[in-house]
Copies of this chain bind each other. A is one copy, B any other.
C-alpha cells in the first residue's frame, strides 16, 4: 500500500537532496524542473500520492511547505542516505533487539526504537545500536541495558570490542589476534574466552563497538 512508484521515488529523493542542499523545501516548479517535465500538475499529483501514502505533509496554499515524515526514514534506503549524506547534526539509527546473521540488514521487525547520535560517529554505512544483554563485559564498564553503537565489519583490530555471533546469539567480546588463532575474551572473570582457529568455529564477527550509551534514572 505504501509502495512508491519509480517516479515517486525520484520525487522523494529530490526533495531530500534539495532540503539538504538548501535548507528548505523545493517549490513545485523546482521539482518539475528536476523531473524535466513542463507544468506542475504532474508534480502536484506526485506530491498528493506521496502525502496519501504518508511520506510527507504539506500546507495548502503555503509555498515550499513540504515536510518529510521522519518515521518514513526506513532502513536501509533512507537511512543510508542520512548516514552518508550531509546531515548536519545527528542521524537516526535503529536499535536492534536480537542480532542475527542478516547483519548489516536487520529486518524491520527487529527494530525496537530509534536513537539519534552525533553525525561524525556514523560516518560509514550500516551503523546500528545494539541493546546489551548480560554482563560479559562488566569489567570494561559495559552493563546490561546499555546501548552499544555498532559499526558492521568482519575484521577487527587487536583489542577492539566487537559483537560476535556465538551459537546464534550476539555477545560482546574483546578481540585479540594471537599466534595462530583469534581470541574473543569476555571482560568478566567468570566467563571463558572463545578461541577461533581457521574456519573452525561457528562464530562470526559482526561489527565493532564504537560507543556506549547508557540511560540512568
Contact = CB atoms under 8 A, between A and B. Distances in A.
A89 B70 contact: yes
Contacts of A59: 22
Contacts of A208: 217
Contact of A210 (B23, B138, B216): B216
Interface size class of A (residues with CB under 8 A): 35 or more
B90 A90 contact: yes
A22 B67 contact: yes
Given A138-B141, A217-B160, A66 B116 contact: no
A117 interface: yes
The A contact surface, by secondary structure, is mixed
B65 A22 contact: yes
Nearest to A119: B116
A161 interface: yes
Interface in A195-213: 208-213
Contact of A116 (B70, B118, B138, B142): B118
A133 interface: no
Contact of A211 (B62, B65, B214): B214
A213 B214 CA distance: 6
A91 to B, nearest CB: 9
Given A24-B67, A160-B217, 12 more contacts: A24-B24, A24-B66, A64-B65, A89-B92, A116-B117, A116-B119, A160-B216, A210-B215, A211-B213, A211-B215, A212-B212, A213-B213
